[in-house]
Amino acid sequence: MKVLKFGGTSVANAENIKKVKDIVQNAVKDQKIVVVVSALGGVTDLLIETAQLASQQDEKYTDLLQEIERRHLESIKDLIPVAQQSKVLSAVKREFNILETLLEGAFLIGEITPKLSDKIVSYGELLSSFIINEYFESEKLYSVFKDARTLIITNENFGKGIVDFSTTNQLCETYFGTVSFDVVVVPGFVASSREGNSTTLGRGGSDYTASIIAAAIEAEKLEIWTDVSGMYTANPKLVHQAVAINEISYEEAMELSHFGAKVLYPPTIQPVLAKGIPMHIKNTFNPEANGTLITKNSNGTKRAVRGISHIENIALLSLEGSGMVGIPGVSKKLFEVLSNGEVNVVLITQASSEHSICLGVSQDDIYKAETLINEAFAYEISLGKIKPLIVEKDLAIVALVGDNMKSHQGLSGRMFSSLGKNNVNIRAIAQGASERNISAVIELKDVKKALNTLHEKFFEDNIKQLNLFVMGVGNVGAKFLKQIEQQRKFLKEQMKLNVRVIALSNSRKMVFDQGGISLSKWQEQLQNGEQADIQTFVKKVNELNLRNSIFVDNTATELVSNTYGEYLRNSVSVVTCNKIASSSVYSNYLQLKDLSRKYNAPFLFETNVGAGLPIIDTLKNLIASGDKVTKIQAVLSGSLNFVFNNFDNTTNFENVVKQAQEEGYTEPDPKIDLSGIDVMRKILILARESGYKMELEDIENESFLPQECLDTDNVDDFYTSLVQNKKHFDSIFEKAASKNCRLKYVAQFENGKAKVGLQEIPEGHPFYNLEGKDNIVLFFTERYVEQPLLIKGAGAGADVTASGIFADIIRIGNF
Ligand code: ADP
Ligand code: ASP
Ligand code: MG
């Protein structure tokens, strides 16, 4: 014999019940079967709600009852041929009349006892099994209905009866030993007490019914048919990448279900485990799928971690105090009190100093637990030996589960470091003595992020998903998106990085798409987005709370750079080509660096100096390896270099500047480049990254622009002033040319001092032959004394800037 159990979704409506019939018809070809069914999906919840409303004397309970009746009658009409319908309809209506009377009783008294509640709730399974059996008969299956209350006997612990196995086993053996039908349909979840009252086996208990019967009759196999294709590596509703586990041991399955994998009601495993009956979890809606086979010795992969589960709504109770040290019996008393109060302890940790004990319990039990514990230890508390119980709420437990975990080292290290990198705060840790489980208590709000982080770490062949939030889609931003689109496949296959753009914004519109924005159609998506708002953007990014989140700033706006702190505080990394933050007041720069360290979120701005050239990264490596920068000499303005390389006595200075702007080599306001401000910011950043505390005002700037040009306050006026001062610019050129020198705008840092300005560079100097928009940096350090470390190449332009941003993203991916 085989036992097949069908869950709530599998029997939710006529359409699904027809699928169940197909599965049963197929199974019955080989042998007799027992079919255990749940209530129609959602009906148990509705019955509980109806009973509650009735007990609160709220007349709305009648509406709910009608809704429940309507669903059952509708199923009958859809399933049973018209000729046989009336008999079934009237039987079901009779049951609803009784149910109505019970509810009326609760309504009139204004109260509901656990006993009455079980009686009411049991109608869910009693009705579904009755209807399904009638349908099977009408489909010519040789089928019979058997009330589980005549098979499974429990005590009167209503809501979650404790099974009397010796009586139950006997009743099952006797009945199934003689039954001649091919199919026996049994309601799940319901049982009866020795006194003859209806009881239930706890929420989700139909799985247990099936297992109890399977064990009693020593069935060949127990099949649990549900709405997913087996037990998954994590709850598939929260982790999209989760996959069904092919094979798993009883112990692993038990551990996963105890730690929240709802697909199996935890007590279910014990009866079949005792008899060594294999259990198979299958999908009613995809019967072809493998499902999960649960046996004694699973031959699945030798993966250390088999699954990740979680339990929500956990509270931590901590009992602390000097009076606990070395005094035996404190823990005994604590657990006794909780056990007597029927408070289930999910997790325990005790520091080896014995100074504190920490317990995880369901949030529903906090009030009871707190009262019981504080009462039990009132004397010790009054003496100050033990502090009143500390209660922390809104927590959850995430757990790694696997039989082979004990033979793998460093798992907990990997678990906690990957959670830490994503700023998931760990409140407590426990490892079962069997080493089959490592659990961490975290904040409820972090559950989804933690599950996905751990799943990625332990199941996704180390593919890391990077979630990007991009602000600014102008020249640089658009190129950047293009580059990601081109490289996505390579990044995934070769670098194990899955880069997704979750949000985009320009100054007008913004769009969020958790599934990832299409990089070939982003313009369209952005166009149809909502109105842009920098603060709303920050809020949304932080609320999404995705792992490996990166905010990318492609703007030159201070309002945007002012938000970096808010991202970093939420462990969202920041990558920016906007120089404002790192060249703002030193205290702000330092604060962002500190936040980045504290929250494990990189803050990278390689493109602030020399666009895509690896200048800052090289500098960081020098410093990290213990070198010290003594002097920096550099040409850092691609735009100024372009201007002075193209300017001679055959051209107009103003035209050359315009050309530089048109070709995208200047800031939107070219004065920022020509005044030297931009170069000042760059040398400031290099000095700071070299370890020097410096402000922008500390940098000497000998501007080559006449005061009149500096005093303009818009771009047009600035160009006009360049025309008016033509003579001044011509003479600068001629003076240098007469000495055979070329003009370069040089930034220098030495002895803690920095200056920027136009210099006449003689032939033979490393700067003399600097072409087009190129940048060059010479680092003189304690190790590079005579010959400096030299970095040279294109230092401006959207393409190279975009690839510099890209490089920062990859640095974070490898972090
Ligand atoms: P049934 O009504 O068939 O008993 P349940 O709702 O009780 O179904 O259990 C199936 C549900 O369990 C799935 O739809 C899924 O949302 C949830 N679930 C939680 N964790 C897991 C997991 N690790 N593997 C599979 N399903 C899980
Ligand atoms: N119908 C019951 C419940 O919803 C039992 C079950 O479905 O397993 O809890
Ligand atoms: Mg279930």
Q: Provide the CATH number for the domain around residue 52.
A: 3.40.1160.10
203 within ligand 1 shell (Cβ under 6 A): no
Are 168 and 59 in a shared domain? yes
Reported as type and span, the H/E element at residue 677 is helix 677-689
Give the separation between CA 769 and CA 778, rounded to whole angstroms: 15
Residue pair 416/453 in contact (Cβ under 8 Å)? The answer is no
The sheet carrying 426-431 orders its strands as 345-350, 356-362, 307-320, 390-401, 437-443, 426-431
Reported as type and span, the H/E element at residue 210 is helix 206-216
Specify the pLDDT at position 687.
Answer: 97
The share of the chain scoring above pLDDT 70, in percent, equals 98
Give the separation between CA 486 and CA 480, rounded to whole angstroms: 10
38 within ligand 2 shell (Cβ under 6 A): yes
User: What residues have CB less than 8 Å from 652, skipping those under 6 apart?
Assistant: 723, 726
Find residue 314's DSSP bridge partners: 362, 395
User: Predicted confidence band at 352 (pLDDT cuts at 50, 70, 90)?
Assistant: low
CA terminus-to-terminus distance, the chain: 55
Are 166 and 205 in a shared domain? yes
**666 pLDDT higher than 90:** no
Residue pair 721/637 in contact (Cβ under 8 Å)? The answer is no
Find residue 395's DSSP bridge partners: 314, 443
Specify the pLDDT at position 411.
Answer: 87
SS3 711: coil
Reported as type and span, the H/E element at residue 488 is helix 475-495
User: Predicted confidence band at 668 (pLDDT cuts at 50, 70, 90)?
Assistant: confident
Cα(344) to centroid(ligand 3), Å = 20
Residue in 39, 9, 129, 140 with CA at minimum distance from that of residue 84: 140
Cα(30) to centroid(ligand 1), Å = 29
Task: Confirm whether 740 is domain-assigned.
Answer: yes
**181 pLDDT higher than 60:** yes
Residue pair 395/366 in contact (Cβ under 8 Å)? The answer is no
Q: Which atom of ligand 1 is nearest to the CA of 204?
A: 7
Specify the pLDDT at position 469.
Answer: 98
**Mean pLDDT of all residues in 236-246:** 92
User: Predicted confidence band at 733 (pLDDT cuts at 50, 70, 90)?
Assistant: very high
Are 600 and 623 in a shared domain? no
- Pocket of ligand 1, candidates 262, 292, 309: which has the most ligand atoms within 8 Å of its Cβ, to mutate? 262
Long-range contacts formed by 99-107: CB under 8 A, 24+ apart: 99/65, 99/123, 100/65, 103/50, 103/51, 103/54, 103/61, 103/65, 104/54, 106/51, 106/54, 106/55, 107/54, 107/55, 107/57, 107/59, 107/61
Task: Confirm whether 380 is domain-assigned.
Answer: yes
DSSP calls for 272-329: HHHHT--EEEEETT-TTS--EEEESS--S---S--EEEEEEEEEEEEEE-GGGTT-TT
Specify the pLDDT at position 50.
Answer: 98
Are 650 and 594 in a shared domain? no
Specify the pLDDT at position 630.
Answer: 95
40 within ligand 1 shell (Cβ under 6 A): no
Please tell me the pTM assigned to this model.
0.76
pLDDT tens digits, residue range 133-159?
999 999 999 999 999 999 999 999 999
Query: Residue 685 is which amino acid?
Result: I
Residue nearest to atom 5 of ligand 1 (CA): 263
Task: Confirm whether 287 is domain-assigned.
Answer: no
Higher-scoring residue by pLDDT: 668, 150? 150
Cα(430) to centroid(ligand 2), Å = 30
Are 568 and 628 in a shared domain? no
Cβ burial of 246 (10 Å; 0-12, 13-18, 19+) is middle
pLDDT tens digits, residue range 578-628?
999 999 999 999 999 999 999 989 999 999 999 899 999 999 999 999 999
User: What residues have CB less than 8 Å from 515, skipping those under 6 apart?
Assistant: none
Cβ burial of 347 (10 Å; 0-12, 13-18, 19+) is buried
Specify the pLDDT at position 301.
Answer: 60
Give the separation between CA 704 and CA 729, rounded to whole angstroms: 9
Number of domains in the chain: 4
Specify the pLDDT at position 322.
Answer: 81
Residue pair 5/37 in contact (Cβ under 8 Å)? The answer is yes
Specify the pLDDT at position 702.
Answer: 86
Q: Catalytic residues, which ones?
A: 682
Are 630 and 556 in a shared domain? no
Are 386 and 517 in a shared domain? no
Specify the pLDDT at position 385.
Answer: 87
Are 208 and 133 in a shared domain? yes
**Mean pLDDT of all residues in 267-296:** 96
Q: Which atom of ligand 2 is nearest to the CA of 201?
A: 5
pLDDT tens digits, residue range 476-490?
999 999 999 999 899
pLDDT tens digits, residue range 689-721?
999 999 999 999 989 999 999 999 999 999 999
Are 101 and 177 in a shared domain? yes
Residue in 350, 355, 359, 367 with CA at minimum distance from that of residue 317: 359
Q: Which atom of ligand 1 is nearest to the CA of 41?
A: 2
Buried/exposed 783-794: b ≥16 CB within 10 Å, e otherwise: ebeeebbebbeb
Residue with tokens 């692993």: 252
Task: Confirm whether 571 is domain-assigned.
Answer: yes
In angstroms, what CA-CA distances link 759 with 527, 675, 701, 789?
47, 14, 12, 21
Question: Domain ends where: 212, 227, 242?
Answer: 227
Residue pair 55/110 in contact (Cβ under 8 Å)? The answer is yes
* Joined tokens for residue 133: 């059996």
Task: Confirm whether 513 is domain-assigned.
Answer: yes
User: Predicted confidence band at 224 (pLDDT cuts at 50, 70, 90)?
Assistant: very high
Are 512 and 473 in a shared domain? yes
Q: Which ligand is nearest to the CA of 36?
A: 2
Give the separation between CA 421 and CA 444, rounded to whole angstroms: 18
Cα(525) to centroid(ligand 1), Å = 34
What CATH number does the domain containing 597 carry?
3.40.50.720
CA 236 to the chain's CA centroid: 12
Residue nearest to atom 10 of ligand 1 (CA): 263
Residue nearest to atom 2 of ligand 2 (CA): 204
8 within ligand 1 shell (Cβ under 6 A): yes
Task: Confirm whether 295 is domain-assigned.
Answer: no
Residue pair 120/102 in contact (Cβ under 8 Å)? The answer is yes
Cα(291) to centroid(ligand 1), Å = 13
What is the chain's percent helix, strand, coil content, to nearest 5? 45, 20, 35
Residue pair 386/294 in contact (Cβ under 8 Å)? The answer is no
* Virtual torsion, Cα 639, 641, 645, 651, nearest 10 deg: 40
Question: Domain ends where: 227, 248, 273?
Answer: 227
Task: Confirm whether 359 is domain-assigned.
Answer: yes
What CATH number does the domain containing 398 carry?
3.30.2130.10
Are 599 and 701 in a shared domain? no
583 within ligand 2 shell (Cβ under 6 A): no
Instruction: Please calculate the CA angle 308-314-318 and round it to the nearest 5 degrees.
Output: 115
What CATH number does the domain containing 734 carry?
3.30.360.10
**300 pLDDT higher than 60:** no
Domain that holds residue 540: 464-608
Reported as type and span, the H/E element at residue 376 is helix 366-376
Rg, C-alpha atoms of the chain: 36
Average model confidence (pLDDT) for the chain?
A: 93
- Pocket of ligand 2, candidates 16, 189, 209, 281: which has the most ligand atoms within 8 Å of its Cβ, to mutate? 189
Are 394 and 504 in a shared domain? no
Question: Domain ends where: 181, 203, 227?
Answer: 227
**773 pLDDT higher than 90:** no
Specify the pLDDT at position 285.
Answer: 97
Task: Confirm whether 815 is domain-assigned.
Answer: no
Give the separation between CA 126 and CA 120, rounded to whole angstroms: 10
